[in-house]
Amino acid sequence: MRKQIAAANWKMNLSQQEASDLLTSLLGSLSNINDNQQVIFSVPSIYIPQALGQIQGKANVFIAAQNCHQKANGAFTGEISANMFASAGVKHIVIGHSERREYFGETDALLAEKVNAVLEISSTPIFCCGEPLAIREAGTQNAFVEAQLINALFHLTADQITQVVIAYEPIWAIGTGKTATSAQAQEIHAYIRSVLSSKYGQDIANQISILYGGSVKAANAIELFSQPDVDGGLVGGASLITSEFTAIINALQ
């Protein structure tokens, strides 16, 4: 059974005290998390040691990094490598978030290197893909997302691809006032799984968790997560509110 995941992406938000207080509040609100479920908090790197200490003893709860450098070490001032995160206790790293692609020019080729770096130290890449508004309006979203997957992931072996979590981000539905329906989410998630199946076979494709990253909220989480190919969410703004993210976690199947 593939994992059902509620992943929080705190982005560049919160002071150290605010981050500590929010995580304390969220952890206190958690009921039992089933073994097929995971809760992941992707926090600013500077808060990772603190966050790791706070989740000690919490089953199926993890801390993730929001990005990493593709090289293991070197003269890259200000960067943090995947093996550095792993040595600190981090087991999940978000790769290729739409904001990294847009604001920092990250390409599929670069992201393939980052995925390799994360897998090399036995950690889990949370690989983001998704189309902007112009692509959605042109009706070419399937081909666009398929190209992202092929270019960044299809060099992996079958064993490696099962270690990857995929997060689909409908960029056109984030902060634009437009809304993706649960049917639209299911449609693209099913297509992503079919693309994975075409390369690796249906058995492998069925093992890969695919998260929805398009403005998941308490109000729509149950409907979204009830879709057969939606295995949870990568949550932005709502993950900064205890009541919202708790309800999202509780919506996991």
Which residues are tagged catalytic? 97, 169
Question: How many H-runs (helices) and E-runs (strands) does the chain carry?
Answer: 12, 8
Token pair, residue 138, equals: 């042109």
- DSSP string for residues in 203-246: HHHTTS-EEE-S---HHHHHHHHTSTT--EEEESGGGGSHHHHH
Token pair, residue 238, equals: 């709502």
Cβ pair 93, 128 in contact under 8 A = no
Amino acid occupying residue 230: V
Distance CA 236, CA 128 (A): 13
Which residue do the tokens 């809760």 mark?
39
* SS3 label, residue 86: helix
φ, ψ of residue 129 to 5 degrees: the values are -145, 165
